[in-house]
A and B are shown apart, each in its own frame.
Chain A
Amino acid sequence: AQKITQTQPGMFVQEKEAVTLDCTYDTSDPSYGLFWYKQPSSGEMIFLIYQGSYDQQNATEGRYSLNFQKARKSANLVISASQLGDSAMYFCAMREIIRTGANSKLTFGKGITLSVRP
């Protein structure tokens, strides 16, 4: 079974509007971390936001916020006030902390392509 599922087809959003990118995960580890990365067409991987499984509040970083619903095992990324530069591939990833360690690998989903229309 996939540990990280990103099933949305290519997403489109109008500039200045908000958009939600979906991510569901599967783990039996009680302690885990969730990450979102952005990959523009240039190819570099850019870290956006992190949410720990025990964090009480949803993570926020500027225009990025993470809608963390633990019981549903979802960690959706919300981008507010979209900009043309937000057009990129977005990856959700998870680290299983007890099973594999606090500095262990991240397991990535297949990604979602976001296109921002002017």
Chain B
Amino acid sequence: GAGVSQSPSNKVTEKGKDVELRCDPISGHTALYWYRQSLGQGLEFLIYFQGNSAPDKSGLPSDRFSAERTGGSVSTLTIQRTQQEDSAVYLCASSQANRGQTGANVLTFGAGSRLTVL
């Protein structure tokens, strides 16, 4: 697609329920990243995919959080047994990874999924 697409844009859930957030990256982008942003705060890294594998999942805050990517394209972030502190905007980004080893590959972000846990 033309940009990074995330769904749902807004999700309200009750504490203890599971939620799934979806990210559809830009076509051809091999790298995919998940971040979360609490109100008025910076971006907290969660996980990075290169293709279907996740070489860096160091930011996942607990075992309630998991993510997968299939077909080198769509990714799903799953939060089990949601807690109120999980309330945040979850941002997905993708990158073309075409600048070799220069490190200059730019992340293009989606509009985010706002999660509210009551």
Contacts and interface: CB of A to CB of B under 8 A. Distances in A.
Contact of A104 (B48, B89, B104, B112): B48
Given A103-B50, A108-B43, A111-B42, A45 B103 contact: no
B94 to A, nearest CB: 11
A102 B42 contact: no
Contact of A105 (B42, B56, B102, B112): B56
Interface in B75-91: 89, 91
Given A43-B111, A91-B42, A102 B106 contact: no
Given A43-B112, A47-B108, A52 B42 contact: no
Contacts of A33: 102-104
B106 A103 contact: no
Given A105-B33, A105-B48, A45 B91 contact: yes
A107 interface: yes
B42 A110 contact: yes
Interface residues of A, number: 26
Given A91-B43, A109-B42, A110-B41, A102 B108 contact: no
B105 A102 contact: yes
Interface in A77-118: 91, 93, 95, 97, 100-111
A73 to B, nearest CB: 17
B30 to A, nearest CB: 8
Contacts of A106: 33, 45, 107
B107 to A, nearest CB: 6
Interface of B: 30-31, 33, 35, 41-43, 45, 48, 50, 55-56, 59, 89, 91, 93, 95, 97, 99-109, 111-112
Given A32-B103, A47-B107, 5 more contacts: A93-B43, A97-B103, A105-B45, A107-B45, A109-B42
5 contacts: A33-B104, A93-B43, A103-B31, A105-B59, A108-B45
